[in-house]
């Protein structure tokens, strides 16, 4: 065991800190699941736990450093490789398009950032002859690492959020629509959402109402709400249990118009929100912004489809003005400021 964790008291201090971080994360997940800060807290909690695990396994300081470095190197190497592999798989199974190559492009970008850092290290400290080139390489690599850390924290939170247990009985169950196949058929993604909603409906009792929310797209012959209604009727759900909301054209409108239908019908009690697991966090953020109190449930999607979908959600969340400004401040503090200090030290 490393010297800094060799004592019983020191071990308990670190375990206590880890337990506090974990409990705080769980409390925030239930109380404020829409907070983006939860994802950062989750990342730090996991990193702290990994550090303790490495320290418990290691025999001394040297082994601890070795295990920690190996773990970081493995993660650094695997992340871009897995993203590139997924991007190729998406092109093979779906089609070539921007939405389907996001994981490929992200993997290549992260790999480029890692390569820039490796080149910087191999070149040695910037000197008068290579200061500009070395500085550019370091800044590019650090920028990519910062964005990758935000993405990793987001991915981990999106993975964990749908797994949290919740209450089982609800009065209204909002189902978020999505594109139909050939303009009228429920897709696998939408079908999984409806099946998840039906699972909640059966546990909630016959008084619960299913709010099928989704308008008609330009390339659709019927509304997504009507397609979902047909699907549920085919599953034996009584017609009176289904409420159709067929005006919405976005995730925000899904929530606004569905909530309006709930108020019009005088439905009282708890509301459940059902969408795909990769989409759940952003829906909860929107619900909070709109003042809609609900509990979120995420339906599973195909494993190969999930990475590209999460990257789209990551972009949609971080391109919001307030979120982007906070991320920019974090970038200035954790990347630009240390970079400026480091380059000033080298030049001196």
Residue range 70-99, pLDDT digits in tens: 666 676 677 788 788 887 877 777 766 666
Beta bridge partners of 175: 212, 274
Q: What's the pTM value of the predicted model, to 2 decimals?
A: 0.85
Residue range 100-119, pLDDT digits in tens: 777 888 888 888 877 777 77
Residue range 294-310, pLDDT digits in tens: 999 999 998 888 888 89
The token pair at 207 is: 């008084």
Give residue 245's pLDDT: 95
Write out the residue limits of the CATH 3.40.50.620 domain(s) in the chain: 168-269
Q: What value does the mean pLDDT take over residues 259-282? A: 94
Of the two residues 174 and 338, the one the predictor is more confident about is 174
Alpha carbon distances (Å) from 316 to 193, 213, 259: 21, 21, 23
Nearest Cα neighbor of 122 from 110, 140, 134 is: 134
Q: Is the pLDDT of residue 135 over 50?
A: yes
Q: Percentage of the chain with pLDDT > 70?
A: 83
Which residues of the chain form beta strands (DSSP E)? Answer: 172-176, 209-213, 242-245, 271-276, 295-299
The token pair at 102 is: 């996001």
Residue range 242-254, pLDDT digits in tens: 999 999 999 999 9
Q: What value does the mean pLDDT take over residues 327-343? A: 88
Give residue 61's pLDDT: 57
What is the dihedral sign for C-alpha 235, 176, 280, 266? negative
Separation CA 40–CA 44 (nearest Å): 6
Please, what CATH class does the domain formed by 168-269 belong to? Answer: alpha beta
Beta bridge partners of 212: 175, 244
Give residue 232's pLDDT: 96
Separation CA 275–CA 300 (nearest Å): 9
Place of tokens 């800060």: 37
Give residue 126's pLDDT: 54
Give residue 128's pLDDT: 46
Place of tokens 């108020």: 263
What is the dihedral sign for C-alpha 275, 277, 282, 288? positive
Give residue 260's pLDDT: 94
């Amino acid at each position: 065991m490393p010297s800094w964790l060799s004592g019983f008291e020191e071990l308990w201090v670190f375990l206590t800190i880890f337990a506090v971080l974990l409990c705080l994360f769980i409390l925030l997940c239930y109380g404020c699941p829409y907070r983006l800060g939860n994802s950062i807290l989750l990342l730090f909690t996991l990193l702290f736990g990994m550090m303790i695990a490495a320290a418990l396994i290691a025999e001394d300081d040297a082994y601890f450093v070795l295990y920690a470095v190996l773990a970081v190197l493995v993660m650094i190497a695997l992340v871009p490789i897995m993203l590139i592999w997924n991007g190729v798989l998406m092109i093979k199974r779906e089609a070539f398009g921007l939405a389907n190559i996001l994981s490929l492009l992200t993997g290549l970008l992260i790999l480029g950032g890692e390569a820039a850092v490796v080149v910087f290290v191999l070149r040695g400290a910037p000197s008068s002859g290579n200061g500009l080139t070395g500085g550019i390489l370091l800044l590019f690599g650090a920028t990519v690492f910062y964005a990758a850390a935000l993405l990793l924290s987001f991915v981990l939170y999106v993975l964990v959020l749908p797994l949290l247990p919740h209450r089982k009985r609800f009065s209204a169950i909002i189902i978020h629509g999505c594109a139909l196949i050939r303009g009228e058929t429920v897709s696998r993604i939408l079908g999984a959402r409806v099946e998840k909603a039906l699972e909640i409906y059966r546990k909630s009792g016959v008084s619960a109402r299913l709010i099928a929310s989704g308008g008609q797209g330009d390339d659709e012959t019927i509304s997504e709400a009507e397609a979902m209604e047909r699907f549920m009727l085919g599953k034996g759900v009584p017609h009176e249990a289904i409420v159709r909301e067929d005006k919405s054209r976005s995730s925000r409108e899904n929530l606004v118009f569905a909530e309006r239908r709930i108020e019009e019908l005088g439905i009282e009690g708890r509301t459940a929100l059902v969408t795909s697991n990769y989409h759940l966090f952003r829906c909860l953020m929107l619900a909070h912004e709109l003042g809609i109190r609900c509990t979120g449930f995420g339906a599973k999607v195909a494993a190969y489809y999930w990475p590209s979908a999460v990257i789209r959600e990551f972009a949609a969340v971080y391109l919001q003005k307030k979120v982007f400004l906070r991320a920019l401040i974090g970038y200035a503090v954790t990347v630009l400021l240390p970079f400026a200090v480091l380059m000033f030290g080298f030049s001196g």
